[in-house]
Each structure stands twice: as structure tokens, then as C-alpha cells.
């Protein structure tokens, strides 16, 4: 169920719900070699985020619960990914981590749809871009 697990199925159909999430955006400014992209993907999956997605071949979103534990997991993963990028000379490479709100509702057929607020996505992407600029050799 992934990211959607932060919402209760007890909610009435169509009633919006809110949940706290920690969003991580990982990006490489240059195209990644297939083995590097696969390794980053595998490391993100191994960290067991609530959900994650490949945004482009060189960028990923990972979603953790909005608890302190979720933020701690995101920070630990960021440290591992930065070390991997440094060892493999992947640069510019940036990571943004931001807490945010996720809003969701149940459709009439009982299926949950959830979206992060746009401000959270903008903030986390901009943070990763700034981080990549700082990391330039």
C-alpha cells in the first residue's frame, strides 16, 4: 500500500484526509550510467521507504512517514547515497529532504488517491538542485 498507508480506510468516501510525510528527492545533473542508476535504485529500496518512484533515469522520489523516525531514515539514506556518489565520482549530485503534507481521499469505488502539496514538491526539488550546486567539484 506504500504512501497510502498513512491514511485510514475508516474515512468516509470522498472525505479528504491529511498525512505527514518526509519527502526525499535524489538527482544527478548528468545522465547516470545504468549500473549507477540501478545501484541507487536498489539502495533506496533497501531503506524501506513507504513508497518511492523513479522520476527520470537520473532522479528519484522517496517517501517516508512524517514521524521523527521517517526523517531519521531519510537522513541516513541521504548520507549513504552521498557517499556512494562521491566514491563513484557522480557529480553534480544533490539530495533534498523536506517534511510535507499529503492529502488524500477515497473515491466512490473505494480506491485511494493521494497527492503531495505542490509546495512540498517544489521545496524538495529546489533543495536538491541547491545541494547539487554546492557539491560541484
User: Whole-model pTM?
Assistant: 0.75
Q: 3-state class of 29 per DSSP? A: coil
Is residue 7 very low, low, confident or very high in pLDDT (cuts 50, 70, 90)? very low
What is the set of domains in the chain, with CATH numbers?
2-134 (3.30.70.1230)
Compute the distance between CA of residue 45 and CA of residue 126 in angstroms, rounded to an integer: 23
pLDDT in tens, 39-97: 999 999 999 988 888 888 899 988 888 778 889 999 999 999 999 999 999 988 999 99
Phi-psi region of 101 (alpha: psi -120 to 50; beta: other; left: phi over 0): beta
What integer pLDDT is reported at residue 43 of this predicted model?
96
Bigger pLDDT: 121 vs 135: 121
Amino acid at each position: 500500500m506504500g504512501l497510502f498507508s498513512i491514511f485510514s480506510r475508516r474515512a468516509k468516501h470522498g472525505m479528504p484526509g491529511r498525512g505527514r510525510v518526509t519527502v526525499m528527492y535524489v538527482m544527478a545533473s548528468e545522465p547516470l550510467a545504468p549500473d549507477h542508476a540501478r545501484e541507487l535504485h536498489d539502495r533506496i529500496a533497501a531503506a524501506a521507504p513507504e513508497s518511492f518512484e523513479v522520476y527520470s533515469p537520473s532522479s528519484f522520489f522517496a517517501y517516508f512517514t512524517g514521524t521523527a523516525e521517517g526523517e531519521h531514515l531519510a537522513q541516513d539514506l541521504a548520507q549513504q547515497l552521498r557517499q556512494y556518489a562521491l566514491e563513484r565520482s557522480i557529480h553534480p549530485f544533490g539530495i533534498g529532504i523536506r517534511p510535507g503534507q499529503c492529502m488524500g481521499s477515497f473515491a466512490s469505488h473505494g480506491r485511494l488517491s493521494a497527492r503531495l502539496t505542490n509546495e512540498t514538491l517544489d521545496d524538495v526539488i529546489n533543495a536538491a538542485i541547491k545541494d547539487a550546486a554546492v557539491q560541484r567539484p
